[in-house]
């Protein structure tokens, strides 16, 4: 089997920024084991595969070790490939996924993704969590992810988790991933910052995580009293998202940059 492969830096304004994703357009599905092996070979946070399905596309995402039910940056990268390289003519793209229909539209120079919101609730702090993260959060909340709040952007930037301990903790919580967030610095133009750790899914730190903002955007919209937010994920690569809290949905906007195009043979 031969297939085209595109590697795209998502939520990036230049190459080597944002979160790299591999995108593999297919005409029909290979075996799940083949897709998982391709994702492991790529060794990126996510490899996305899509197949035409009526007027939409069926989209699936794989980390190097597991298939995941939702991924933002690889959805953005897939839409970029369709609009830019495969010449998708309609103004929007509908993806059918494990998390329902996801729509991506052109929005000026950016692409806008429409994702389901995740409402988070206060959660008991496990005694091992501060040691795993290397700092004690002010508040712990839980939805699809474990969400931790810290006192400043600098504290989030300084976090240096013990990945062995954090992986053990995440696995004990049902292979959950951990968002660490704080308000942006005054005058920075950034409403909140975050980092995302997913060692139970084979990713110590995810550079920029669209799906995490389904949880964080509703929280900050309520806390700050506004629906439009600018978020910055402050991993080593970093990436910016322009977000809107739309009630049961979250709109996330970003840009993509091409890094690589090629052909795989398996």
- 27 as an active site residue: the answer is no
CA distances, 220 to each of 63, 84, 119, 194, 265 (Å): 28, 33, 11, 12, 45
Q: 49, exposed or middle or buried, with CB in 10 Å at 0-12, 13-18, 19+?
A: buried
CA distances, 36 to each of 43, 56, 188 (Å): 10, 23, 40
Question: How is 180-229 classified by DSSP, letter by letter?
Answer: EEEEPPTTSS-SEEEEEEEGGGTEEEES--TTTHHHHHHHHHHHHT-SEE
Start-to-end CA distance of the chain, whole Å, equals: 5
CB–CB of 23/78 below 8 Å? yes
Question: How is 106-123 classified by DSSP, letter by letter?
Answer: EETTEEEEEEE----EE-
Q: 236, exposed or middle or buried, with CB in 10 Å at 0-12, 13-18, 19+?
A: exposed
Token readout for 39 is 């994702």
Question: How is 80-91 classified by DSSP, letter by letter?
Answer: HHHHHTS---SS
- Active-site pick, 46, 205, 248, 263: 46
Catalytic residue set: 46
């Amino acid at each position: 089997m031969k297939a085209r492969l595109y590697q795209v830096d998502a939520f990036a304004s230049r190459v080597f920024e944002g979160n790299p994703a591999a995108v593999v357009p297919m005409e029909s599905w290979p075996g799940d084991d083949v897709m998982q092996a391709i994702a492991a070979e790529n060794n990126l946070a996510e490899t996305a595969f899509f197949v035409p399905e009526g007027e939409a596309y069926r989209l699936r995402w794989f980390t190097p070790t597991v298939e995941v039910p939702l991924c933002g940056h690889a959805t953005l990268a897939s839409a970029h490939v369709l609009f830019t390289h495969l010449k998708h003519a309609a103004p929007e793209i509908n993806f059918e996924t494990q998390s329902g229909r996801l729509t991506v539209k052109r929005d000026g120079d950016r692409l806008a993704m429409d994702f389901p919101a995740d409402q988070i609730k206060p959660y008991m702090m496990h005694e091992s969590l501060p040691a795993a993260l290397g700092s004690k959060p002010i508040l712990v909340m839980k939805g699809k992810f474990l969400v931790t709040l810290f006192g400043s952007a600098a504290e989030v930037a300084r976090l240096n988790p013990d990945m062995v301990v954090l992986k053990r903790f995440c696995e004990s919580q049902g292979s959950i991933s951990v968002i660490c967030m704080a308000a942006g610095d005054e005058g920075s133009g950034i409403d909140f910052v975050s980092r995302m750790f997913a060692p139970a899914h084979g990713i110590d730190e995810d550079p920029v995580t669209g799906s995490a903002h389904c949880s964080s955007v509703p929280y900050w919209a309520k806390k700050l009293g506004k629906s439009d937010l600018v978020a910055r994920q402050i991993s080593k690569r970093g990436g910016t998202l322009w977000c809107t809290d739309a009630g049961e949905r979250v709109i996330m906007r970003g840009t993509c940059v091409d890094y690589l195009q090629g052909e795989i043979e398996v």
